[in-house]
């Protein structure tokens, strides 16, 4: 393999987003005909690196050398025509159209004669592609009538049909069952035998070591190491993925931990994303939830907060059994929840900062006539602005004009104004800059000190370990580990999270 010529080289790639350095002198070398895995935590920079390669972003610094020439693709279309195709993690297929239409979308002119599309010819070509890969799907089936796994295979067929020199696969097996995974492995081996290179992004370390020839590990946007897969163990990979020192960013202050306030017993959800989850929470405690994205942590909290329906399970608050069927009820019982998805479930982009902050507790300052006490509102919001140091030119400006960090602080302010007893924070500092992050950590710490019970989900291991009194680790909808603050060890947690 070492003798194979280099197909792609990405050198010293740096990419900054407002407030964050997503990539910091990252590098990657792909040889012809190899399967090259990229591993790293969420936010390590894997996706950003791929987006730069495909031309979705432009790098701030660094060079991309493709087949010996320095290039910069302007769009995915540009990348495809130069021989790079990608299988996305979330499928990009059109539900109401056929498999064949999806495989050849954008390339219909291959089958067009005198302006008329020859559908039969196109379907036959699709059949040939599917047959050559051993995928048993009819080209005429509609996408919406297929399973997620089948559609994932259609994505594979489409990527292969471009006859690319390099195919990027982002978590291609996450939706596949064992038999399909074996089929995918076979397809990958056939492709590499023909000299095609594969970039394989996966969180499943066992699979990474099985299928790939070489592995590159990334962390915090930086290149960590590249090694032959056969010389690696899963422990090596985990060390690379995690191995860093705790810095002083997480100032969890000692808080007096009181009585149990909340007990959750055998929680399962209808959507099967949460299976039999039990835990308890005490006053003044910060309970961290660690795990990979999709492990069921967000879904657990959504169910607890009444956003998604429960299948089974009990919620006991102050020793009394309660049923929460809507966020409205959850708020009534003293819960607050800062959701992970700020755009979809958090901000009201067209409303003012102040209106965004006051929406939950508005009832508390509404008089008998239904009118809002606007002086009180102004006073409380100003107080929150100062307390959380939210940078706004005016509380009346639309929230969409604020930076991500300040939007997040405004949302936290919204939920603090509701004076919760239990505060759930789902990825409270994701995608925000270092300064704002530290301030939010400080506030969380203060709240715990004042006796609030806090649940904090974070995919950033350092953050969970630095802030939590206790850490629950989830994988595939279940709780697979519990660590006390003193005994928490990053490698142990990662092993549980990766399931190895």
Q: Which residues of this chain interact with another protein, rule CB under 8 A? A: 305, 307, 326-328, 330-332, 337, 339, 344-351, 355, 358-360, 362-363, 366, 369-372, 374, 401, 414
Cβ 267 to another protein shortest distance, Å: 19
Rounded to the nearest whole angstrom, what is the least distance from the CB of residue 415 to another protein in the complex?
A: 9
Least distance CB 16 / another protein (angstroms): 17
In terms of CB distance, is 17 or 185 closer to another protein?
17
Please state the closest distance from residue 421 (CB atom) to another protein, in A: 15
249 vs 365, which CB is nearer to another protein? 365
Cβ atoms 80, 162 nearer than 8 A? yes
Q: Shortest Cβ distance from residue 375 to another protein (Å)?
A: 12
Q: Work out how close the CB of 304 gets to another protein at its nearest, in angstroms, rounded to a whole number.
A: 13
Q: Which of 381, 466, 452 is nearest to 421 (CA)?
A: 452
For the bound state, the minimum distance from the C-beta of residue 138 to another protein, rounded and expressed in Å, comes to: 32
What distance in Å separates the CA atoms of residue 286 and residue 453, rounded to the nearest whole number? 6
Assess contact for 48 and 23: CB atoms under 8 A: yes
Residue closer to another protein by CB (options 293, 345) is 345
| Residue 438 CB neighbour total at 10 angstroms | 15
- Of 317, 312, 337, 342, residue with least CA distance to 326: 337
Least distance from C-beta 1 to another protein, angstroms? 49
Please, are residues 294 and 340 in contact by the beta-carbon 8 Å criterion? Answer: no
CB of 346 to another protein, least distance (A): 6
Measured CA to CA, the distance from residue 499 to residue 486 in angstroms comes to 22
CA dist., res. 439 & res. 249, Å (int): 10
Taking a C-beta distance cutoff of 8 angstroms, is the pair 246, 448 a contact?
no
Comparison of 151 and 380: residue with beta carbon closer to another protein: 380
Measured in Å, how far apart are the chain's first and last C-alpha atoms? Answer: 28
Beta bridge partner(s), residue 64: 10, 71
Q: What is the DSSP string of 427-482?
A: STTTT--HHHHHHHHHHHHHHHHTT-EEEEE-S-HHHHHHH-SEEEEEETTEEEEE
Q: Is the dihedral of CA 143, 147, 153, 156 positive or negative?
A: positive
The least CB distance from residue 382 to another protein, in Å, is 18
User: Among residues 285 and 377, whose Cβ is nearest to another protein?
Assistant: 377
Helix (H) or strand (E) holding 285: none
- The nearer residue to another protein, 16 or 25, going by C-beta atoms, is 16
Decide whether 243 or 431 has the Cβ nearer to another protein.
431
Q: How far is the CB of 334 from another protein (least distance, A)?
A: 12
**Nearer CB in complex with another protein: 72/332:** 332
Taking the least distance from each CB to another protein, the nearer of 213 and 426 is 426
- Contact between 473 and 496 under an 8 Å Cβ cutoff? The reply is yes
- The answer to whether 39 and 9 have CB atoms below 8 angstroms apart is no
The secondary element (H helix, E strand) that includes residue 375 is helix 374-387
Please identify, using beta-carbon distances, which residue of 203 and 302 lies nearer to another protein: 302
SS3 category, 405: helix
Could you give the CA distance from residue 120 to residue 463 in angstroms, rounded to a whole number? 56
Closer of 289 and 305 to another protein (Cβ):
305
| Residues 183, 86: Cα–Cα separation, whole Å | 18
């Amino acid at each position: 393999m070492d003798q194979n010529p280099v197909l792609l080289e990405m050198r010293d790639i740096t990419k900054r987003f407002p407030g964050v350095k997503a990539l910091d002198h990252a590098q990657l070398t792909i040889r012809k005909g190899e399967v090259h895995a990229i591993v790293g935590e969420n936010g390590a920079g894997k996706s950003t690196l791929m987006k730069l390669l495909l031309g979705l972003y432009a790098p701030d610094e660094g060079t991309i050398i493709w087949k010996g020439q320095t290039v910069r693709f302007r769009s995915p279309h540009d990348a495809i025509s130069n021989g790079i195709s990608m299988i996305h993690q979330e499928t990009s297929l059109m539900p109401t159209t056929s498999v064949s239409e999806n495989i050849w979308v954008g390339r219909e002119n291959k089958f067009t004669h005198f302006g008329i599309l020859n559908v039969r010819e196109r379907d036959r070509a699709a059949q040939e592609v599917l047959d050559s890969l051993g995928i048993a799907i009819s080209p005429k089936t509609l996408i919406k009538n297929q399973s997620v796994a089948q559609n994932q295979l259609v994505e594979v067929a489409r990527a292969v049909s471009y006859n690319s020199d390099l195919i990027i696969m982002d978590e291609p097996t996450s939706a596949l069952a064992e038999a399909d995974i074996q089929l995918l492995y076979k397809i990958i081996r056939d492709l590499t035998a023909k000299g095609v290179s594969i970039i394989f992004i996966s969180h499943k370390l066992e699979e990474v070591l099985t299928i790939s020839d070489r592995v590159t590990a990334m962390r915090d946007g930086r290149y960590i190491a590249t090694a032959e897969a056969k010389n690696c163990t899963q422990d090596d990979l985990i060390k690379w993925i995690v191995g860093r020192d705790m810095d002083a960013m997480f100032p969890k202050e000692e808080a007096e931990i009181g009585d149990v306030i909340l007990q959750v017993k055998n929680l399962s959800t209808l959507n099967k994303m949460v299976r039999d989850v039990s835990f308890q929470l005490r006053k003044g405690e910060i309970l961290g939830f660690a795990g990979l994205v999709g492990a069921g942590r967000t879904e657990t909290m959504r169910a607890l907060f009444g956003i998604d329906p429960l299948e089974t399970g009990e919620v006991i608050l102050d020793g009394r059994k309660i049923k929460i069927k809507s966020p409205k009820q959850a708020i009534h019982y003293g819960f607050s929840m800062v959701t992970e998805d700020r755009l979809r479930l958090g901000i009201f982009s067209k409303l003012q900062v102040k209106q965004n902050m006051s929406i939950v507790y508005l009832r508390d300052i509404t008089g008998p006539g239904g009118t809002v006490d606007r002086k009180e509102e102004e006073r409380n919001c100003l107080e929150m602005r100062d307390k959380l140091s939210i940078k706004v030119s005016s509380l009346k400006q639309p929230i969409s004009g604020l930076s991500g960090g300040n939007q997040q602080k405004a949302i936290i302010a919204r939920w603090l104004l509701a004076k919760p007893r239990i505060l759930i924070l789902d990825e409270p500092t994701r995608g925000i800059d270092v300064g704002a992050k530290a301030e939010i950590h400080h506030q969380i710490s203060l709240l715990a000190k004042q006796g609030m019970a806090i649940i904090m989900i974070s995919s950033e291991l350092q953050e969970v370990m630095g802030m939590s009194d206790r850490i629950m680790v989830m994988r595939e909808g279940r709780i697979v580990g519990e660590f006390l603050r003193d005994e928490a060890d990053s490698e142990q947690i990662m092993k549980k999270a990766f399931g190895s």
